[in-house]
Structure 1
Amino acid sequence: MLRLLGAIALFLCAATPARADDISAAGRGVVRIVTIAVVEDEVVGFGHGSGFAVGPNRIVTNAHVVELAARYPGNVVIGVVPSEGDRSFQGRLIAVDPNRDLALIEFSGANLPPLALYTGPVADGELLVSLGYPGNVDLATAQSSADFITPLSPVRSQGNFAGLRSLAGTQVLLHTAGIARGNSGGPLLDRCGRVIGVNSAITRADDGDSGFAFAIANAELAAFLREAGQKVQTVGGGCIGMEERLATDRQADAAEAARAEQAAERAEAARAARIVAAREEAELARENFIAIAAVLLVLGALLVGAAGLLETRGQRRWAIGLGIAGIALMLGAVLVFLLRPAFDPERAEAGVSPPAPVEQGALGPMTCTMLPDRSRVTVSATDDVQIDWGADGCMNQRTQYAEAGDGWERILVPASEQTVSVLAFNPATRTYTNSRYLLSASQMAGARRLRAEVGLKTCAPEGAPRANLATQQAAIRATLPPLPNERLVYRCTPKS
């Protein structure tokens, strides 16, 4: 049996590159499920359907697709054929629910990008997309049996949501996306590429009747996975296009900038008022000194005059005392006048503290919470992110970011996941952004080649290594699609 599978694997060829949109990104986690019945090393039966990844090596499909494998595990081989790559894999059945018509398959040898389940409501008439491997297309295009195990991007079709129904006691979604035999087990997606159901059946279209399809509802799928102990990513937010999200985000940035400008204007106006008050206070103090000097001068002159009058009357003793006192007061007036504060507008202005500068250095440990109204989520978790921002773009005391506009940026190209993340942090607004690009295998290979040229692995306080990092990251960014698939925006606050 293994010799047979090895021989068939020799006919495998490379997958067709997928387009960089949400549906194509989801399609990289869709697989063809092949069942091969073998008796005494001879193939006696062959079937196929579709499936999709809910974990890196876990696949959901319909129970009826793998029915023979469940009944005859020793004679039926399950093949998992990804949409990309150059080989297929042998799977094993680990959970099956005939009532819900769902099954869970595990395989090893590769990691697939898992799809996320959408848990929110679906509106009547909403546009839906089906991905899978319809048998009528295979019959029309396949040249040999090897074509059924050749990695190939799934076929997409679209239609509309037509309501909830019950099929044999299982909640299903009724829709008009065109599917055929072979689509069984494939995902039914919303416009953002999130799973809302598992295609399982079609209605008969006799005598010109319109064709409809049934997909097992996500509530049933979630219950099945929970009972099987399989974790899956769920997303509950509505679907919004990236262009629309970026447009609303720019509006939010503009509004925030306007608020900051208004606050700065208010602060400057308050500072100007304080400067005027400081100038008036300084001028008043100067005038007070002059007034005191004038009073002392007048009093001294009066005493000197009184001393002269007493001298003419022969009261020399009193005349001398009053004369000395008058002269002292006049000298005091001169001293007070000389000590009067000089009126210096610049000195008065310097006494008013300018607005505190925005912190641009180390901010330390912070907790970053996602802002739903500024984010677009299709497959990622939305948990808080913990960061530690140091001086000169040092993140978490180990990763160097490069200067980019008003903030700092680092492009992350992982070795195993098919995702490139552009991470950005703005210390002024304490905004942390993760723009995620869900790429094809060939696109990831190109990004990894460029990533290998980045030599800066640790934090660098010097400017030259950061400038070189910025140049190398610009080369990676040039290979990315115009828009990301996801944009997660966080607001960060210091840890208490």
Structure 2
Amino acid sequence: MNRTSLAARLLALAALALASLLTAAPAHADPADIDAAARGVVRVVVMGRDGEEVFPISHGSGFAVNGETIITNAHVVGPAVDDPRLSIGIVPSDGGESVYGRVISVSPRNDLALVTTTSPMRLPPLTIAGNPPGSAGSVTAIGFPMNVDQAQGLGERDIFRAQPPVTSQGFLSGRRPSREFDTVLHTAPIARGNSGGPLVDDCGRVIGVNSFGAESEGTEAEFFFAVTVRELLPFLRANDITPRINSLPCRSLADLDAEERAREAQRQMVAQMQAEAAEEERAQRRADLRRNIEFAVLDERSNGQALALLLAMVALGGAAFAYDSHRRADFRQRAIGGSVALLAITGALVAWLSRPAFAEVEERLEDQLRAEMSDESSGVIAQASTNGTLACTLDLSRSRVLGAPVESVPLEWEEDGCVNERTQYGLDARGWSRAFVPANEEAVSINRFDPETGEYVIDRYLLDRETMTSARSARASFEAPQCGDGQEAARQLGTAQGEIIALLPDAPNERLVYDCGVTLEGPIELDP
């Protein structure tokens, strides 16, 4: 490969990377993310009582900021705050029983209220966008509009049944402070009953709390207002609530997969270029060695010829001296001259015949190459070991993070698939993995580790209650082996986990990619 070819390949590589960036499509709302956010949205019902009968007076929407605490609008729960005879009901959207709620804080100034459930509901909390878009972008409103209930003919008792919320799409139209608090203007349709529900971005993260709409007549465009997170976050912190916050850009898995394909294509091209460069270097080294060996052989042949000629001349001189001694009848001198002539002619013949043949060039070349390869292979090559305690650092460029990211995770790995001296990973055709099915969270995580590359990947699936029930049942059907039970036990675990994996969607909601490239010393404190 000449320099022109190498430059052409480098240009092609740069063009590929540039094309990958230029053709990357903007993120669009992922239905799986919106569905996951919707499972944390509830109907907030203000109820009256007539004897033993409970009946709804009004309702709005709300969303969980932790398992038992809900954000809604102040005007939604206002009637119950002003009239102690009224109570609040919390109706989940994804199965489960309705429970009573208790107002713990109200802020009429910015139309926010905080309600806690009186019985455990284990609601999946929504993540709040730490750096929400201010003036543009697509958004989704989630809630329980009354006009939809009316169109479906739902009665009073139907309101207390768990039903999926309604989602509507629109666009941001800019920030607009109004009514003495900060709001964001948008076009995602909302109606009475949507109040208190979340306005989310394409990744299902909260960027506002829907509050009210602009009146419109005839064909005028409709706009709606949501309380911004600039109002929401201080309100939560003032009430000792620590929400999940994510300030990273919203990226789709499709974008990440496209980038991975581009990255793999670049890696293969670089590997090919390196292989071709190495082959070119080997060819050049072979040519240099051949030329040096050819020069050495020519020198040896020339030296042999010169020595043979010199000895031949000595032999002629010795023969002439012996002949002259013979004429003079000096037999002693004749013997000396003859011996010198014989030795010299013998040496000349040896020098001539021992000259290296041109065929030796290839033999010497192969011997030299084998010797160099032997020297290289006998050297000590330092390699990173994945055994021991590893510092795994989150690679944000390859990750899709929906919640609050954990940027560093220590991981203690053993060759038999034991993690942190207590968690055995399963082994199958895809490598080492462990499925985690928690009892108190509506999510399943598949953690994978590749000892060869030091790559640790966590795929997190946010699931509905029905799928979670099936996943918990599948997990309860087998007992995970203990560390040290052997590789056969690890393979059995890998097979058993397949039943859980089969229940999961094609793609996770969240993917965390960690690079475990540094070995630590001392004990670890976290268990991934």
TM more than 0.5: yes
Q: Does 1:391 align with 2:415?
A: yes
Sort the Cα spacing of 1:409 and 1:257 in 2 relative to 1 into closer, same or farther, 3 A: farther
Residue 400 of structure 1: aligned partner: 425
Residue 34 of structure 1: aligned partner: 45
In 2, distance between residues paired with 1:124 and 1:186? Answer: 20
Residue 104 of structure 2: aligned partner: 94
How far is the alpha carbon of 1:334 from its aligned partner? 10
In 2, distance between residues paired with 1:430 and 1:413? Answer: 24
In 2, distance between residues paired with 1:280 and 1:395? Answer: 56
2:109 aligned counterpart, secondary structure: coil
Q: Does 1:442 align with 2:473?
A: no
Q: Which amino acid aligns with 1:103?
A: A
Which of these residues, 398, 407, 413, is aligned with residue 374 of structure 1?
A: 398
Q: Deviations over 1:47-90 (max 9, x none)?
A: 43211111222221112222345456x65543322212331233
- Is the Cα contact below 8 Å between 1:279 and 1:349 reproduced in 2? no
Sort the Cα spacing of 1:175 and 1:318 in 2 relative to 1 into closer, same or farther, 3 A: same
Residue 349 of structure 1: aligned partner: 369
Q: Which amino acid aligns with 1:480?
A: L
- Is the Cα contact below 8 Å between 2:93 and 2:165 reproduced in 1? yes
Q: Does 1:193 align with 2:204?
A: yes
Q: Deviations over 1:125-148 (max 9, x none)?
A: 633211112233334546554432
Residue 505 of structure 2: aligned partner: 481
In 1, distance between residues paired with 2:401 and 2:145? Answer: 29
With 343-352 and 59-68 compared, the bigger mean Cα shift is at 343-352
Q: Does 1:252 align with 2:263?
A: yes
In 2, distance between residues paired with 1:380 and 1:251? Answer: 28
Sort the Cα spacing of 1:40 and 1:441 in 2 relative to 1 into closer, same or farther, 3 A: closer
How far is the alpha carbon of 1:321 from its aligned partner? 11
How far is the alpha carbon of 1:302 from its aligned partner? 5.6
Q: Deviations over 1:398-437 (max 9, x none)?
A: 43253545x6444433333222233344455544333322
Q: Which amino acid aligns with 1:493?
A: G
- Is the Cα contact below 8 Å between 1:115 and 1:195 reproduced in 2? yes
Sort the Cα spacing of 1:358 and 1:31 in 2 relative to 1 into closer, same or farther, 3 A: farther
In 2, distance between residues paired with 1:292 and 1:417? Answer: 88
In 1, distance between residues paired with 2:169 and 2:271? Answer: 45
Q: Deviations over 1:188-220 (max 9, x none)?
A: 112221111001112334566544321101111
Sort the Cα spacing of 1:356 and 1:137 in 2 relative to 1 into closer, same or farther, 3 A: farther
Q: Deviations over 1:262-320 (max 9, x none)?
A: 22332333234334445555666666666666666666666666566666666699979
User: Where do residues 20-99 of structure 1 align in structure 2 (5 Å cutoff)?
Assistant: 21-36=32-47, 46-71=57-82, 75-99=85-109
With 74-83 and 145-154 compared, the bigger mean Cα shift is at 74-83
1:170 aligned counterpart, secondary structure: coil
Percent of aligned pairs sharing the same letter: 36
Residue 244 of structure 2: aligned partner: 233
- Is the Cα contact below 8 Å between 1:165 and 1:171 reproduced in 2? yes
- Is the Cα contact below 8 Å between 1:20 and 1:481 reproduced in 2? no
Two-structure CA RMSD over aligned residues (Å): 4.2
- The TM-score, its normalising length taken from structure 1, stands at 0.79
Sort the Cα spacing of 1:292 and 1:206 in 2 relative to 1 into closer, same or farther, 3 A: same
- Is the Cα contact below 8 Å between 1:54 and 1:116 reproduced in 2? yes
Q: Which amino acid aligns with 1:98?
A: P
Residue 212 of structure 1: aligned partner: 223
- Is the Cα contact below 8 Å between 1:376 and 1:488 reproduced in 2? yes
Q: Which amino acid aligns with 1:81?
A: V
Residue 493 of structure 1: aligned partner: 517
Sort the Cα spacing of 1:146 and 1:316 in 2 relative to 1 into closer, same or farther, 3 A: farther
Sort the Cα spacing of 1:362 and 1:320 in 2 relative to 1 into closer, same or farther, 3 A: farther
In 2, distance between residues paired with 1:367 and 1:230? Answer: 31
Sort the Cα spacing of 1:285 and 1:78 in 2 relative to 1 into closer, same or farther, 3 A: farther
- Is the Cα contact below 8 Å between 1:296 and 1:332 reproduced in 2? no
1:488 aligned counterpart, secondary structure: strand
| Paired residue total | 476
- The TM-score, its normalising length taken from structure 2, stands at 0.74
With 82-91 and 183-192 compared, the bigger mean Cα shift is at 82-91
* Contiguous gaps of at least 5 residues in structure 2: 1-29, 326-331, 521-528
In 2, distance between residues paired with 1:319 and 1:226? Answer: 117
Q: Which amino acid aligns with 2:143?
A: G
With 311-320 and 200-209 compared, the bigger mean Cα shift is at 311-320
Q: Which amino acid aligns with 2:254?
A: E
